[in-house]
Amino acid sequence: PVLRVALMGLGGYATRVADAMRSCTKAKLVGAISGTPAKLTEWQSKYGIPARNCYNYDNFSAIKNNPDIDAVYITTPNSLHHSQVLQAAAAGKHVICEKPMALNAKEGAEMVAACKKAGVKLLVGYRMHFEPKTLEVIRMRNNGDFGKVLFFQGLCGFRIGDPTQWRLNKQLAGGGSLMDIGIYAINGARYMVGEEPAWVTAQETKTDPVKFKEGVDETIQFQLGFPSGVVASCLSSYSMNNLDRFFLNGDKGFAEMQPSTGYGPIKGRTHKGELTQPHATHQTIQMEEMAGIILEGKQPIVPVDGEEGLKDLKIIDAIYEAVKTGKKVALKL
Ligand code: NAD
């Protein structure tokens, strides 16, 4: 069986996913949802999408009567994810939603509940969960190669340009660097350490309050404490380039990856040597694997379901609270 996918929000990332899906054998791009008629026409010819599988945001609910589409992949700005996932679920379609799954844990929990009620799967676009070098480090950790894991460092950021883009608009982005890029350090800390954090502390630095308005964070440092005693020290920033590094340290060895979450190739080494797993386009492997999860009930090594997305949202809520109060915030995941 092939997972027949419609993309919603035909921007930069949707294009990347559409191009990557050309190489998929188990997933196929068959539909599109956009508010811009010209984009739908362009996508029909560029990706061979039939006109009958194209929708705008006003007539989208009619997708429920379309038997040729199995899943909707949402690649719109962050604040739209919540209502669009609810709409897709109400239309009886499986949903793949980009990260961050929503703006906060309250929204996230509603999305998980709505998809459960509708009997559809909800997956989050965590492409790193399928990346071969990342999975090798996780395998080594589970195998005890690093000994007792003691520390993780995750540095994630880039220097953001155009001040008018949605990523710097609180209404559309829900925040700043943490929502967009810091989430890779949050999520990475969890899959690299292999535990759920029990507390968080966080500090914010803002050097440019004109570009980074109220509610849009430029740089946040945060620390996660895990029940075993592991501590993660993380940095999320919109004002530094070359910030894409993971470091895991245990009493018998280490792993370091740089770049660690970019589109790749990912590079890394452990105390045993270079990581040599071959690079493949992340979004191609992701969609192949997600087709298996949705259609065949396959279990991924690192979860990519709505509950997984919700955990990261709970941590995001806690980080913002820790920034505001200056206090250590307890987590229940
Ligand atoms: P983008 O600006 O390139 O595309 C967003 C699209 O949404 C545009 O086509 C825009 O027209 C459309 N849109 C629909 N309704 C809109 C509205 N009300 N306001 C503004 N735009 C609207 O952004 P992007 O980089 O493609 O990011 C989209 C989503 O994908 C974000 O949630 C982002 O976090 C996520 N993303 C994930 C990855 C990844 O590696 N997993 C990478 C990039 C982006």
Looking at the domain that runs over 128-279+305-330, which CATH code has it been given?
A: 3.30.360.10
Per-residue pLDDT tens digits for 284-310: 999 999 999 999 999 999 999 999 999
What percent of the chain is predicted at pLDDT more than 90? 100
**Residue 221 corresponds to which amino acid?**
Q
Choice among 55, 184, 191, 320 that is catalytic: 184
User: The complex's ipTM?
Assistant: 0.99
Whether residue 177 has its Cβ less than 6 Å from ligand 1: no
Alpha-carbon gap, residue 157 to 174, rounded angstroms: 17
Q: Residue 253 to residues 116, 249, 261: CA-CA distances in angstroms? A: 41, 6, 21
DSSP 214: T
* Annotated domain spans of the chain: 3-126, 128-279+305-330
Assess if CATH 3.40.50.720 describes domain 3-126: yes
Instruction: Please indicate whether residue 184 is annotated as part of the active site.
Output: yes
**Residue 254 corresponds to which amino acid?**
F
Say if residue 308 is exposed, middle or buried (CB neighbours under 10 Å; 0-12, 13-18, 19+): buried
Taking CA atoms only, the protein residue closest to ligand 1 atom 2 is 11
The answer to whether the pTM exceeds 0.95 is yes
Per-residue pLDDT tens digits for 108-159: 999 999 999 999 999 999 999 999 999 999 999 999 999 999 999 999 999 9
